Structure 1
Amino acid sequence: MRSFHKVLIAGIAVLAAGCQTVQTTQPGAIGVERKQHMLVSEADVEKGAQVAYQQELDKAKQKGALNADKNTYDRVQTISRRLIPQTTVFRPDAADWKWEVNVQTTDDVNAYCMPGGKIMVYTGLIEQLHATDAELAAVIGHEIAHALREHSRERLSRAYAQQLALTGIALATGAGDMTMELANQVAAVTFTLPHSREQEAEADRVGLELMARAGYDPNASITLWQKMGKLGGSKSEFFSTHPSSDSRIKDLQANVPKVAGLYEAARR
């Protein structure tokens, strides 16, 4: 029993040694200031994201579904090019990210931005919601916000922490290697696992400021989620990782006044 406790303590020490408390973004006008506990390095997660994103691009290419409609592709590119420069308000280093923006032809209602700025918008989201440019900016801004706040890295770190009893003990006893398939894990948190309410609220608020600074009416974030609600969760892949609720719409309504001045300034 004593030896088990020694091993467990050693495992906890390994976990603690690798854990960092970080401030991933500046608060912006919207005031998102929460610090995050990270066990996985930013560089490793971005490498995994690049592999996972390339896999998705390859799949779409094989189906002839990658950037198949020029008008839709150009539209998404134009909106994204207005949003991306605003990211430096929250993260100056985002200017150096290797941003990629693509469109996949599919009926699925979804969009995502993997770590490091790897954006994908599904045509189903545009078509089924009849999304305006401002509403599309709300979606893309929201997804960019997840990447800026490193929510994927945070969720992976939490998952690693939950594996302490296994991985920590294995390291302490020399029983194997802790190699993780980060690409698969990044894909899992992108496509399968839901964000926490806390992360969703942060992405809503940061995305709201991004779209306002880019000259898109922040009120469109509200109409977007109203449309999502009418569409119904069963018809939207987006709901599997981005649960909708009346409370998020109320939160957006409460925060629109904080960025209204930024929107007016951007329109001048």
Structure 2
Amino acid sequence: MSQNLHRPRLLPLALSVTLTGALLAGCSTSPTGRSQLMVVTPDQAITESKSAYVSTVGELGTEGKLVTDSKTLNRIKTITGRLVTEAVAKFPKTANWSWSVAVIDDAETLNAWCMAGGRMAIYTGIIDKLDLTDDEIAQIMGHEISHALANHTAEQMSRAVLINAGLQATAAATENNQYALSGTALAAKYALQLPNSRTAETEADRIGIELAARAGYNPAAAVSLWEKMKKAAGGSTPEFMSTHPSPSNRSKTLGKLGTEMLALNPTLKKAAVYPVTMVTSTSQLQ
């Protein structure tokens, strides 16, 4: 299984930033208070993500892989809509995001993602092969939404830009185009293929499990989800785990967080469903 299967491509912006721009990098602060080095601003990441989403999901739509089954769509829409209600309550500026989900008909791919700006996808493989409960789907989508809320897309793109800028400068100084070509490939790999950092994963775990609990989904499902994921991995690496490193103590940490988060909504009262767009055709991507 390709580790880059249907991964959105965000290269154009990364390749357009020069070393001068990289040296003018700014700083941002994540929702957990961590300092983030930013070459690519969150707004730029949202703009690039929109283009990448249109391209990636458009291609999948042309291949006939966008799910239109009303039962599946309503299930994902309800779960995700409740999570987004809590995301907007915690981060009011995201009310202007283009919250949307494409359910991808791909029985072999165990994956889900959320891009900057709230554009999401989840694959039927991860739902069906892991026999996910609603609570477990909420943990996946809450985690992915949290990557967007914490500006992790912009952060990853920024790292890729800095690496590429350095290699472009080397290419110019040595008049060796090999460096420039390597920079292009390396920027792509760092931005899209390598795992999220442990720090980013920890942030997304904490924000995501809180969103799910506030939305009315049992935080204990975070533990059962990762147990299912580890079992499914076997001798291979599912797409989701290729970009979401799982330290051995992750389940234990999530278990402790779950107890804390359950106190925020002890009765697991369900949140209102935010109007999330379900993408079922390429015409919705304009």
TM-score scaled to structure 1, two decimals?
0.81
- State the shift of 1:242 in Å: 1.1
Deviations 1:91-143 (A, max 9, x none): 22111111111201002111000110011010001100100000000000000
**Which one has a bigger Cα radius of gyration?**
1
Decide whether aligned partners of structure 1 residues 48 and 211 sit closer, same or farther in structure 2, where only a CA change above 3 A counts: same
2:224 paired residue number? 223
Greater relative contact order: 1 or 2 (C-alpha under 8 angstroms, separation 6 or more)? 2
Matches within 5 A, 1:92-111: 92-107=92-107, 108-111=109-112
- State the shift of 1:171 in Å: 9.4
**SS at structure 2 position matched to 1:163:** helix
The 2-side partners of 1:266 and 1:186 are apart by 41
Deviations 1:195-222 (A, max 9, x none): 1111111111110000001000001011
Native 8 Å contact 1:83 1:211 kept in 2 = yes
- Aligned CA RMSD, in angstroms, stands at 2.9
1:210 paired residue number? 211
**SS at structure 2 position matched to 1:45:** helix
Which stretch has the larger CA shift, 125-134 or 60-69?
A: 60-69
Matches within 5 A, 1:89-168: 89-107=89-107, 108-167=109-168
The 2-side partners of 1:187 and 1:114 are apart by 17
The residue type paired with residue 47 of structure 1 is T
Matched, 1:16 2:23: yes
Which ranges in structure 2 are unaligned for 5 or more consecutive residues? 1-17, 174-179, 271-286
Native 8 Å contact 1:49 1:187 kept in 2 = no
Aligned length: 243
Decide whether aligned partners of structure 1 residues 186 and 13 sit closer, same or farther in structure 2, where only a CA change above 3 A counts: closer
Decide whether aligned partners of structure 1 residues 228 and 262 sit closer, same or farther in structure 2, where only a CA change above 3 A counts: same
The residue type paired with residue 22 of structure 2 is L
Q: Report percent identity of matched pairs.
A: 37
The residue type paired with residue 248 of structure 1 is R
More helix by share: 1
Which ranges in structure 1 are unaligned for 5 or more consecutive residues? 1-10, 26-31, 173-177
**SS at structure 2 position matched to 1:207:** helix
Decide whether aligned partners of structure 1 residues 114 and 187 sit closer, same or farther in structure 2, where only a CA change above 3 A counts: farther
The residue type paired with residue 49 of structure 2 is A
Which stretch has the larger CA shift, 62-71 or 112-121?
A: 62-71
TM-score scaled to structure 2, two decimals?
0.76
